[in-house]
Amino acid sequence: MTNGEHRVERATRASRLGAIAGAVVLAALIALPMWGSSSHMRLLVELLSMLTLAQMWNLLAGYGGLVSVGQQAYLGLGGYALIVLADFLGLNPFLSVFLAGFVTAALAVPTAALVFRFQGGYFAVGTWVVAEVYHLLVANSAVLGGGLGRSLQAMRDIPRAQRERVTYWIALGVGVGAIALVYLLLRSRRGLALTAIRDSARAAESLGVDVFRSKLLVYLVAAFGCGVAGALIYLNLLRILPTAAFSVNWTASMIFVVVIGGIGTLEGPIVGTLVYFALRELLADYGTWYLIILGAVAIVVMVRAPQGLWGLVAERFDLRFFPLQRRVRLRDA
């Protein structure tokens, strides 16, 4: 946008370099089935699912100001939606992963009508209660397999190698798609409103931002994303169990990833996911101590460095890989 006197820019040097680096990494990842192993692909599917979940939780909490401890609801519902779409309705299982997101987003509408009656901490527990309700409803329905869960039948006829590859590529699509979705959302006008809400909901409201609508949009998008992630996870695992699918531990991981990585930034969840998996490898032999350490690290980060690891780096070096900010360049500068 040019206007004689000044220009509004978005890209920075870092973001241009970042875009190039990202493209290289992406190309390598797309080609992974050629040079990597089965276990590499499986690990990456897990990582990309976690990344998607984290981006969604970050969108909710970091930009919408909504702390949800109930996102596992949409994860579980997404997984079951996959089974219903692929097994019961006979749709293409890979397409169903994507469609599952629409199912969960649809369910998020009446859910929002209930939980949005709460604010702050009560909203957090309210979402948890709702997740439990979904859990119990699913666990008590015989047609969905009840408490013992179900297997995903639709993938049975596909040869293993092909199944793994396609699942992997879908995961890649989902992961990149999640980042793209959040990025585009934040770049839009609505995104500007969200960033304003992130900084101060009250101030944003006084400027005419429709805070409620923005929060609702964010909630629905996050439900969509978590639903797709859930479907992806169970496409990979091939068997779903209600207690595991609706477990609050999923949200615990999302929270950990976002807090450690850096809340309210796009890069944060990426960094956080990498740290999460690195820690998991490192502390694999320590059982419950791994979780204790995770919890302690999250607390320390929240108290000492609430902007997270990426936040620390970004502040120090004034770095931003995703060009979300607009800068004014004066004509003779």
Partner 1 sequence: MDWVNTIVQGVLLGGLYTLFATGLSLVFGIMRVVNLAHGDFIILAAFLGVVAIGIAGLHPFLTLLIVVPLMFGLGYLIQRGLLSLTLDRGVLPPLLVTFGLSIIIQNLLLEIFSADDRRLDAGWIETASVRLGGQVAIGWYPLIVFAAAVLAIAALQVLFSRTALGRAFRATADDQETVRLMGIDSRHTYGLAVAIAFAIIALAGVFLGIRTTFSPDIGPGRLLVAFETVVIGGLGSLWGTLVGGVVLGVAHAIGAKIDPAYRELAGHLVFLLVLLIRPQGLFARPVRDA
Task: Say what the alpha-carbon torsion angle 123, 127, 130, 134 is, to the nearest 10 degrees.
Answer: 170
Q: Which stretch binds partner 1 (CB under 8 A): 18-26, 180-188, 219-227, 299-307?
A: 299-307
Of residues 92, 212, 213, 306, which one binds partner 1 by CB under 8 A? 306
Residue 92 to residue 72: CA distance in whole angstroms: 24
269 in helix, strand or coil? helix
94 in helix, strand or coil? helix
Q: How many chain residues touch partner 1 (CB under 8 A)?
A: 37
Minimum CB separation from partner 1 for residue 104, in Å? 19
328 in helix, strand or coil? strand
Can you name the residues that pair with 327 across neighbouring β-strands? Answer: 9
Minimum CB distance to partner 1 smaller for 37 or for 200: 200
Asked if 312 touches partner 1 (CB under 8 A), the answer is no
Outline where the chain has alpha helix (H).
13-30, 32-35, 38-58, 72-83, 93-115, 120-139, 160-187, 189-199, 201-206, 211-237, 242-245, 249-261, 267-282, 288-304, 308-317
Minimum CB separation from partner 1 for residue 115, in Å? 9
Minimum CB distance to partner 1 smaller for 58 or for 96: 58
Nearest to 80 by CA among 221, 222, 237, 217: 237
Rg of the chain over CA atoms, in angstroms? 20
Of residues 43, 274, 279, 302, which one binds partner 1 by CB under 8 A? 302
CA 90 to chain centre: 27
Asked if 212 touches partner 1 (CB under 8 A), the answer is no
Of residues 137, 180, 207, 328, which one binds partner 1 by CB under 8 A? 137
Asked if 133 touches partner 1 (CB under 8 A), the answer is yes
Q: Which of residues 43-82 bind partner 1 (CB under 8 A)?
A: 61, 65, 67, 69
Minimum CB distance to partner 1 smaller for 32 or for 67: 67
Q: Which stretch binds partner 1 (CB under 8 A): 12-20, 74-82, 119-127, 167-175?
A: 119-127
* Burial 256-279, CB ≥16 within 10 A → b, else e: bbbbbbbbbbbbbbbbbbbbbbeb
Minimum CB separation from partner 1 for residue 235, in Å? 28
If you write DSSP's letter for every residue of 119-170 in order, what string do you get? -HHHHHHHHHHHHHHHHHHHHT-GGGTGGG-EE--TTTTS-HHHHHHHHHHH
Residue 75 to residue 103: CA distance in whole angstroms: 11
Asked if 206 touches partner 1 (CB under 8 A), the answer is no
DSSP state of 293: H
User: ∠ CA(94), CA(98), CA(99), 5° rounding?
Assistant: 105
Asked if 244 touches partner 1 (CB under 8 A), the answer is no
Q: Which of residues 265-294 bind partner 1 (CB under 8 A)?
A: 287-289, 291-292, 294
Asked if 121 touches partner 1 (CB under 8 A), the answer is yes
Asked if 129 touches partner 1 (CB under 8 A), the answer is yes
The 77-116 contact track toward partner 1, x by CB under 8 A, reads -------------------------------------x--
Of residues 136, 180, 312, 328, which one binds partner 1 by CB under 8 A? 136
Note the residues at the interface with partner 1 (CB under 8 A): 61, 65, 67, 69, 114, 117, 120-122, 124-126, 128-129, 132-133, 136-137, 140, 248, 252, 255, 259, 263, 287-289, 291-292, 294-296, 298-299, 302-303, 306
